[in-house]
């Protein structure tokens, strides 16, 4: 794999292999390099989808496939239960301001998606050698800026939508005074902005930490980290909403 990365980075058609005494013992040709890169890319895609590293999974029996998928889906299942428990802790807030529940799916979804984007970019960069200890701090801060910028943009738009829904449109389900509508809109806007920023940070740092621990960073884009980001996004959003309505 190391020879394949070197050949890919420097456009070599072959890579010489030497022993400890720098004597030539063989050559890694471009055919071997292509095979390694293809196999590595397949393994990474399977890891990102939470399917392990077996590229022949499609040829396995139904029972073998079920056993292989079960642990990865269990992480998402448990994460969903934790998210449900987290939401239930704010039942008083949500029962009084039901409009806040309307934005839970989009805030959790945006946090999970932007976190997955960051972790995918970093994972590929780690595997190609473009991210190392010297470039990591710069890349982390860059991704945080990207997450914050996107969070602010989507936050402003979602905040305006929340205001339109709560004050302009109204419904039998919610009819709040102007000041309360503004507070709820700010909570929605701030919640998604902070959630997306934190999700970007988590998605960026997680692959780096795993790589440092000699663990395949492709795991960072799997269900476990994605579910973690979803839980954090929901917790941040509802915490900000609680803060705003209690000011």
CATH number at residue 162: 1.10.357.20
Nearest to 241 by CA among 110, 109, 113, 95: 95
Look up the domain containing 35 and give its range.
Answer: 2-48
Name the pTM for this structure: 0.75
Q: Is residue 61 part of a domain?
A: no
Residues 228 and 130 in one domain: yes
60 inside domain: no
* pLDDT, tens digit, 9 for 90 and up, residues 124-169: 788 777 788 888 899 999 999 999 999 999 999 999 999 988 887 7
> Cα(26)–Cα(17) distance, rounded to whole angstroms?
5
Mean pLDDT for the stretch of residues 100-115? 90
Is residue 10 located within the same domain as residue 125? no
pLDDT of 229 above 80: yes
pLDDT in tens, 54-80: 556 666 677 777 777 787 778 788 888
Are 9 and 93 members of one domain?
A: no
Query: Within this chain, do residues 109 and 33 fall inside the same structural domain, yes or no?
Result: no
pLDDT tens for 14-23 read 777 777 777 7
Q: Do the domain assignments include residue 57?
A: no
Same domain, 101 and 173: yes
Instruction: Examine the pLDDT at 172 and tell me if it is beyond 60.
Output: no
């Amino acid at each position: 794999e190391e020879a394949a990365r070197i050949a890919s980075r420097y456009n070599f058609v072959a890579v010489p292999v030497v022993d400890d005494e720098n004597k030539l013992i063989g050559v890694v040709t471009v055919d071997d390099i292509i095979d390694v890169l293809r196999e590595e890319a397949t393994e990474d895609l399977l890891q990102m989808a939470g399917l392990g590293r077996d590229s022949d999974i499609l040829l396995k029996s139904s029972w073998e496939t079920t056993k292989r998928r079960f642990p990865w889906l269990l992480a998402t299942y448990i994460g969903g239960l934790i998210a449900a428990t987290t939401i239930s802790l704010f039942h008083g807030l949500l029962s009084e301001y039901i409009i806040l529940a309307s934005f839970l799916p989009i805030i959790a979804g945006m946090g999970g998606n932007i976190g997955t984007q960051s972790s995918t970019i970093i994972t590929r960069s780690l595997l190609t050698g473009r991210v190392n200890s010297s470039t990591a701090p710069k890349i982390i801060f860059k991704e945080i800026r990207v997450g914050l910028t996107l969070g602010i943009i989507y936050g402003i738009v979602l905040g305006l939508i929340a205001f339109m829904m709560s004050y302009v449109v109204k419904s039998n389900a919610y009819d709040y005074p102007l000041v309360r509508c503004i507070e709820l809109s700010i909570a929605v806007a701030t919640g998604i902005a902070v959630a997306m920023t934190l999700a970007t940070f988590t998605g960026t740092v997680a692959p780096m930490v795993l790589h440092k621990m000699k663990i395949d960073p492709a795991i960072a884009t799997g269900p476990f980290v994605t579910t973690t980001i979803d839980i954090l996004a929901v917790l941040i959003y509802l915490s900000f909403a609680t803060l705003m309505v209690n000011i």
